[in-house]
């Protein structure tokens, strides 16, 4: 396929960045959508919602990959989470689809979620594409309703819609639960999962991106819904062993009965998190493989090696926080020698370079004054901890999950009395 113009939403996200890197190799001319102006080419469209104007991005486009969404979070501070998910993921998606159809776009690939099928499967009985949907939380409900709405738009306009429902996606730059698991293995922490006998499907980032490319091209993909995985389901203990092997570590698994883990999870209010570790969630990709002639392009072991090689190498131990260090010389053009201010624009450019705190809204360092913003006003709050004259570093701690600290080494930063004050704050 040559000279096909492709519009990608969510282009600066975990999946979108990788898609933008590799899809041009298949002959696509990529036009990324951006929420705000960055140091990359793209179309600024603002936030995803029912009133978003997509016309600039859709003009002359042949196909759309819709990755942008309000994502599932462990603690949702919205007053009405379902209403907010519907506003963004349902109304926002259908608004894009209708504008795409009006602009003459031929095909839209929509990234949904396996959570549309449900939260768990019985051991050895994977979800199939024919199963009745059973979404349970607001995020999954919004994805299912978006799927239903897209099918209606497809029927009314002739826009070809392809829906992909991935399970957990992992790869370089992965965050959340998978990253926490990697950190635990890297630190050599004993994990009470030795007696777990489950099966969970996952999909490597490169396998998912490859399937998206196939869904854009394949004539039989239009109007279809596809499940995707690596084709090899692992138990949680086996995943830990393979992560440890890739890291050159020894897996430390303690033989704790799953029933006891469930009880403990219930007591501390973490039952859902425990179930994701000890329960099964499998998908059957037979329909995907047969309909599209698709096969995963990399194995689980190779995907884990890539993930570990490019992610864990950036981490080092520091309490419970992930740490990344970057040579300030690489980003001094971003902060423009302004030692007291790290703006939203600057941090987003760091994120583009695989520094991984997400959705940082604004951080200000003004001498020794520390400012942070409430999550409900600016999104995840960002705390600029200060300047260490011994390390000559700018520290930014963000209330995202997991907590990240950016350490930007800057020999030019002026010494201050921050260390003394910071120690005092910690003791308080």
Residues designated as active site: 139
Q: Does residue 402 have a cis peptide bond before it, meaning omega lies within 30 degrees of 0?
A: yes
260 neighbors 199 (Cβ within 8 angstroms): no
Residue recorded with tokens 């981490």: 315
Region of 312 please: left (phi>0), alpha (psi -120 to 50) or beta. alpha
**At a CB cut-off of 8 Å and minimum separation 6, what does 208 contact?**
15, 164, 166, 169, 228
DSSP run (H or E) holding 333: helix 332-335
Q: What is the DSSP letter of 360?
A: -
Burial of 392 (0-12, 13-18, 19+ CB in 10 A): middle
Q: Show the tokens assigned to 369.
A: 């004054």
Helix (H, G, I), strand (E, B) or coil at 98: helix
CA distance 406 to 158: 47
How many C-beta neighbours within 10 Å does residue 77 have?
Answer: 10
According to DSSP H, which parts of 199-299 are helical? 205-217, 236-247, 258-267, 271-278, 286-292
Q: What is the DSSP letter of 380?
A: S
**At a CB cut-off of 8 Å and minimum separation 6, what does 115 contact?**
72, 135, 136, 137, 139, 140, 143
CA distance 111 to 250: 36
Query: Residue 169's closest CA among 118, 199, 212, 204?
Result: 204
- CA torsion, ordered 28, 98, 226, 83, to nearest 10 deg: 120
Helix (H, G, I), strand (E, B) or coil at 107: strand
- Cα 151 to chain centroid distance, Å, stands at 25
Q: What is the DSSP letter of 118?
A: -
């Amino acid at each position: 396929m040559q000279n096909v113009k492709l519009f990608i939403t969510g282009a600066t996200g975990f999946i979108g960045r990788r898609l933008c890197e590799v899809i041009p190799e298949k002959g696509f001319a990529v036009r990324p959508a951006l929420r705000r102006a960055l140091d990359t080419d793209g179309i600024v469209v603002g936030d995803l919602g029912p009133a978003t104007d997509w016309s600039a991005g859709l003009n002359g486009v042949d196909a759309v990959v819709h990755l942008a969404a309000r994502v599932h979070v462990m603690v949702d501070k919205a007053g009405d989470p379902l209403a907010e998910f519907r506003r963004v993921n349902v109304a926002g998606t259908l608004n894009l689809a209708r504008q795409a159809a009006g602009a003459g776009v031929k095909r839209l690939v929509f990234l949904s979620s396996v959570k549309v099928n449900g939260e768990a499967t019985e051991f050895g009985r994977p979800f199939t594409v024919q199963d009745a949907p059973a979404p349970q939380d607001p995020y999954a409900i919004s994805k299912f309703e978006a799927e239903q709405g897209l099918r209606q738009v497809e029927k009314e306009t002739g826009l070809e819609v392809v829906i992909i429902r991935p399970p957990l996606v992992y790869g370089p730059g992965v965050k959340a639960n998978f990253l926490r698991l990697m950190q635990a293995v890297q630190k050599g922490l004993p994990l009470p999962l030795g007696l777990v006998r489950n099966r969970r499907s996952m999909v490597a980032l490169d396998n998912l991106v490859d399937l998206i490319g196939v869904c854009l091209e394949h004539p039989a993909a239009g109007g279809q819904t596809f499940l995707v995985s690596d084709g090899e389901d692992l138990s949680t203990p086996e995943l830990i062993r393979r992560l440890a092997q890739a890291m050159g570590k020894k897996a430390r698994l303690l033989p704790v009965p799953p029933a006891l883990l469930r009880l403990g999870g219930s007591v501390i209010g973490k039952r859902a998190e425990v179930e994701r570790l000890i329960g099964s969630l499998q998908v059957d990709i037979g329909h995907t493989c047969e309909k599209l002639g698709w096969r995963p392009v990399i194995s689980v072991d190779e995907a884990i090696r890539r993930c570990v090689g490019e992610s864990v190498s950036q981490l080092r131990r520091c309490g419970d926080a992930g740490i990344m260090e970057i040579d300030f010389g690489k980003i001094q053009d971003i902060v423009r020698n302004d030692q007291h201010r790290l703006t939203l624009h600057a941090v987003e450019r760091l994120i583009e370079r695989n520094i991984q705190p997400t959705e940082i809204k604004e951080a200000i360092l003004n001498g020794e004054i520390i400012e942070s913003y409430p999550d409900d006003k600016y999104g995840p709050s960002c705390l600029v901890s200060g300047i260490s004259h011994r390390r000559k570093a700018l520290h930014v701690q963000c209330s995202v999950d997991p907590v990240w600290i950016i350490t930007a080494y800057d020999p030019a930063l002026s010494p201050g009395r921050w260390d003394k004050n910071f120690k005092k704050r910690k003791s308080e």
